[in-house]
Chain A
Amino acid sequence: MIELESLDRKEAIRYLGGSGIKLNYRMDALMDECEKEILLKADPKYLYIEKELPCNGLIKGKDIEKHLYGCEKAVLMCATLGTEIDKIIRINQISDMARAVVLDSFASVAAEQLCNRVNEAIVEKYSDYYTTFRFSPGYGDYPIEMQNYFLQTLDAPRKIGLTSNSNYLLVPTKSVTAVIGLSKSPIERKRLGCAGCIARESCQFRRNGEHCGV
């Protein structure tokens, strides 16, 4: 089980496009309140499973092939904050939109932190391997349709209530699926970078000279 104790506030502000803005006391108070609420309502759950490579059905497109190049194994993972988070964001969109966007931002941060923790656990478990970074459906040319492959392989709907809709969007929405490659020999730990990203033309981070972190 993973419990999140605190959330990265700077990151939440960055998601809201507020890097470099001095927050007034009301905004500070709002950030505090929302961080607490997300920590209280999040129900972090995750799964991972090890697969020998080559693994039937996992490879679709060039980017995932590149990502797993030289790896003997891959670990498929998924993580979710649960439905309650979606619900409080929904409620706040009616009662207090400002709060809703801050909650949404902290929830994204929480999902990311949860993934990092799962990632750490995987790295620790496979300490005799070199590991790649997390690669998710939707990165580069890896089709978003692969969500269903991950969910099925991990038995995620039954085990942690994580599903997708007919457009392959994850439900609950604050959820992630990803694959990490394992190799006995060193891997060049390269990030995907903007060049391989489908959102590069519209990316707010990129526009402001920043990077999303993927």
Chain B
Amino acid sequence: MEFKDFINKKEFILLDGAMGTMIQKSGVKYDSVPEALNITHPKLIASFHKAYVDAGADVIYSNTFGANAYKLKDSGYSVKQVISAAINNAKNAVKGTDALIALDIGPIGQLLEPAGALSFDEAYEYYKEQIIAGKDADIIVFETMTDLYELKAAVLAAKENCSKPIITTMTFERSGRTFTGASAASAAVTLEGLGADALGVNCSLGPDELEPIVSEISKYTDLPIVIKPNAGLPDPNSNEYNILPDDFAKSVLTLLKYGVKIVGGCCGTTPEYIAKIKETLSGEKYHPQKKSVDTTICSASTAVEINGPRIIGERINPTGKKLFKQALVDKNIDYILTQALNQISGGAEILDVNVGHPEIDEKNMMVSVIKAIQSVCDAPLQIDSTKPEVLEAGLRYYNGKPIVNSVNGEEKSLRAVLPLVKKYGASVVGLTLDENGIPKTAEGRFKIAKRIVERAEAAGIDRKDVYIDCLTLTVSAEQDACRETLSALHRVKTELGCKTCLGVSNISFGLPNRELVNRTFLTMALEEGLDLPIINPNIASMTGAVRAYRVLAGIDKNSNEFISVYNNAAPQTAAADTLADMDIFTAIYNGLKKEGACLTEKLLNENADPMKIVNEMLIPALDKVGDGFEKNKIFLPQLIQSANAAQECFEVIKKHISQTSGSPVSKGKIILATVKGDIHDIGKNIVKVLLDNYGYTVVDLGRDVDPQLIVDTAVEQNIKMIGLSALMTTTLKSMEDTIKMVRERKELQNPDGSSKCVVFVGGAVLTKEYAMKIGADYYCKDAKESVDTAKKVLG
């Protein structure tokens, strides 16, 4: 019988219980992995399956939980061998029954980026191999997952390599989160979007402890819910589980009200438990649940319900921003991350991400930026590009349910974008324009909105996931346009039942006091039903207008959020009197960022020569701090704070120079990277802060960096100095390999074969002797020495 028929015909679907517990109880020994038993003891494994089928299981899980290439690497068996044998054993056990076979797949066993080093694509390949090997199974099950990102790779691998139904269950802790911080809400929203057929929880806790988590999941999904709890909690001494079959089955009953349809057991459960559940469920009814929270986007950790105005930060966008464009060209991801973090602290709840710039590979940049932002921000993202291939790349590597910005009424756009939105389970912004441009009237825009919504629904996208943007035009050019926008917005909201979105700042082009115009327009739009204002959240009055609106419209209950934000807000500017008796030197020495920046600005306004400020004030101050550090008089964090204060001064100077269009201040480019395999990069980052502040341009390639990328970047950007760090003895080999590759690359050699690149190295286990042995030019024991070396080499 097909799974879909199963779902419809059967009131409940019974899964099996634990395989591990059966193996343990039988006392059978295995060499490396329990999955090897599929080959060495096929009859025994089949007998476990058979016991579950006899107990009433409708679906049995193959003994393939850890049958991936990573875990099998020392077992002597291939993934294909193990999985085919396992499916075969399962087939033998279900012969003559209706029971279906699920290909059971667990986590790979390594953490994915950003916490770990395994890439999304590598994870995908591991899963793909298993799914192809399990072609004879009826269902694909991913269970005991703790990382939503890994699970997304798994689900995509299944969707793209087979057409079997997919069940996903994750393992949560009592906190309601997984080990990697994924929330139950985010898991439900993301997995339903990706097209799982059923989702839920397994392992970790017993049925009683699972109730709050199952309840939370049910708020966010319409899908049938799966539970496969442990037999209670293990006794720490005996490792025995504490709930007996009777109580287990009773606890399952209390969870039915949340839409539980598929039930089985995890660690500690046996055929007895399954038989008891079957008996207890007979006569009970499945209670299908509709989600109660229905317009949600999310990151892995945070679900944001669009149940009132939510601020989308607009600052990650190079349009009209010189420094941002330069950052893109230099692949300066940290610059973009700083923008992200600043917007979050300003009050953004969602971040728009646009990295379109003609001089760069937008697709690769989108992927890098999305991966980087989601490693440090909990806010969901809005993927913004005019190119469908960029949108798709962003969608693929995003961890959660994002917004796509955007589709419009043009046939070409609808055809290209909507299928992507569907496939990756995103929300989408619909711009009310088409082949004929932006209609002048509200009626014209409403018609396009209606068309977009209809087409989205035809593509399988819920209209609640379509956010219509009625487009802000510049009021100084067309004064009546503002009314048309607002009127269209109102109609979309009330007649189409869609959420709405609007870029606000366009309204005021060409007018003085733009902030005032923007804020007033924003307030008007909110009153017409604007849900997602796209604004600069670092302008306090804009964010404030949204927060105040939430109070006045009765959304911010008891003004809780408003009070918590504004009650203790401290003034942010440096007081004038503290500046009066301070100079830049003192500010930097004491690590005072704002004061340093103010003083630099003041000097520049007094027409001081920027290079003089750098050479006669910033650098000497840094040198003094560095000297104190060397003599063990200054503490490392203070050295860094001083460097950061100098950084603020440099930023002011850079801005000043870019405005007066002089050449940027740079003493030369340096690549920094933590070598392949190493994920400890704090030392490298300290070096970076210092080099930055001495006026060097650092091309930071991050951690776990492929030697090829380092060499290619050096060639591409004509870089003469490379700094490598490694923390562990095991990764020193990577350092050696990288240096070797630098030396061998033709483009990095002088005509006489000597190297054009200077390589300096550092890290906890390195010594000068070893550094020389592996071919480095310099060994630097700390960040200060790296700066001294850079001075020596680049001046």
Contact = CB atoms under 8 A, between A and B. Distances in A.
B31 to A, nearest CB: 10
A93 B637 contact: no
Contacts, number: 142
B115 to A, nearest CB: 5
A165 interface: yes
Given A89-B682, A98-B644, A157-B107, A144 B633 contact: no
B203 A94 contact: no
B679 A161 contact: no
Interface string A15-56: 011101101101100100000000000000000000000000
Interface string A120-139: 00000000000000000010
Interface string A152-187: 000001101101111111011100000000000000
- B115, B117, B765, B770: most-surrounded residue (chain A CB, <10 A): B115
B682 A144 contact: no
A66 B589 CA distance: 51
Nearest to B337: A94
A188 interface: no
Decide if the interface of chain B is mainly helix, strand, loop or mixed: loop
Given A98-B641, A169-B678, A18 B341 contact: no
Contacts of B731: 167
A86 B203 CA distance: 25
A140 interface: no
B767 A202 contact: yes
Interface string A58-101: 00000000000000000000000011101101110111111111
A198 B729 contact: yes
Given A161-B146, A202-B766, A94 B334 contact: yes
Contact of A26 (B341, B641, B681, B689): B641
Contacts of B132: none
B770 to A, nearest CB: 8
A167 B118 CA distance: 11
Contact of A163 (B109, B637, B729): B109
A93 B638 CA distance: 15
Contacts of A83: 111, 115, 179-181
Nearest to A30: B637
B375 interface: yes
Interface in B91-110: 107, 109-110
B634 A21 contact: yes
A124 to B, nearest CB: 13
B635 A23 contact: yes
Interface residues of B, number: 55
A96 B765 contact: no
A117 B3 CA distance: 50
Interface string B109-139: 1110011111000000000000000000000
B45 to A, nearest CB: 20
A111 interface: no
B179 A97 contact: no
A95 B341 contact: yes
Contact of B591 (A26, A104, A171): A26
A167 B732 CA distance: 11
A196 to B, nearest CB: 14
B765 A198 contact: yes
Nearest to B203: A158
Contacts of B766: 202
B376 A87 contact: yes
A167 B728 contact: yes
A133 to B, nearest CB: 22
A130 B634 CA distance: 44
Nearest to A163: B111
Nearest to B334: A94
A5 interface: no
A165 B734 CA distance: 15
Contact of B632 (A20, A138, A199): A20
A98 B179 CA distance: 27
B789 interface: no
Given A20-B632, A83-B180, A171-B115, A96 B644 contact: yes
B202 to A, nearest CB: 11
B538 to A, nearest CB: 14
**Size band of the A side of the interface?**
35 or more
B110 A166 contact: yes
B107 A167 contact: no
Interface in B633-657: 633-638, 640-641, 643-644
Contact of B637 (A82, A98, A160): A98
Contacts of A198: 729, 765
B767 A201 contact: yes
B682 A158 contact: no
B338 A169 contact: no
A102 interface: yes
B794 interface: no
B552 interface: no
Contacts of B774: none
Contacts of B729: 138, 144, 198
Contacts of A169: 117, 677-680, 728, 730
B678 A100 contact: no
Nearest to B239: A49
A144 B179 contact: no
Interface string B677-696: 11111100110010000000
A167 B644 CA distance: 33
A165 B117 contact: yes
A204 B591 CA distance: 25
B793 interface: no
Contacts of B111: 83, 163, 165, 171-172
B705 to A, nearest CB: 13
A167 B376 contact: no
B764 interface: yes
A102 B638 CA distance: 10
Contacts of B730: 144, 167-169
B738 interface: no
B376 A91 contact: yes
Contacts of B680: 169, 173
B679 A27 contact: no
B88 interface: no
B678 A86 contact: no
Given A27-B638, A98-B640, A166 B677 contact: yes
B728 A90 contact: no
A204 B785 CA distance: 15
B123 to A, nearest CB: 13
Contact of B109 (A27, A98, A157, A173): A157
Interface in B556-580: none
A29 to B, nearest CB: 11
Given A94-B338, A167-B731, A198-B729, A86 B115 contact: yes
Contacts of A13: 635
A84 B181 contact: yes
27 contacts: A16-B635, A16-B636, A26-B638, A87-B375, A90-B376, A93-B682, A94-B376, A95-B341, A96-B644, A97-B640, A98-B638, A98-B640, A98-B641, A101-B636, A101-B637, A101-B640, A144-B730, A157-B109, A161-B178, A165-B110, A167-B728, A169-B677, A169-B678, A171-B116, A173-B679, A202-B764, A204-B764
Given A30-B637, A164-B110, 14 more contacts: A27-B637, A27-B638, A82-B179, A86-B115, A87-B181, A98-B640, A101-B686, A161-B146, A161-B178, A165-B111, A167-B731, A171-B116, A173-B680, A199-B764
Interface of B: 107, 109-111, 114-118, 144, 146, 171, 178-181, 203, 334, 337-338, 341, 375-376, 590-591, 632-638, 640-641, 643-644, 677-682, 685-686, 689, 728-731, 764-767, 769-770
What 9 pairs across the A-B complex have the smallest Cβ distances? Answer: A161-B179, A167-B677, A98-B640, A98-B637, A98-B641, A18-B635, A165-B117, A171-B116, A201-B767
Interface of A: 13, 16-18, 20-21, 23-24, 26-27, 30, 82-84, 86-87, 89-91, 93-102, 104, 138, 144, 157-158, 160-161, 163-169, 171-173, 198-199, 201-202, 204
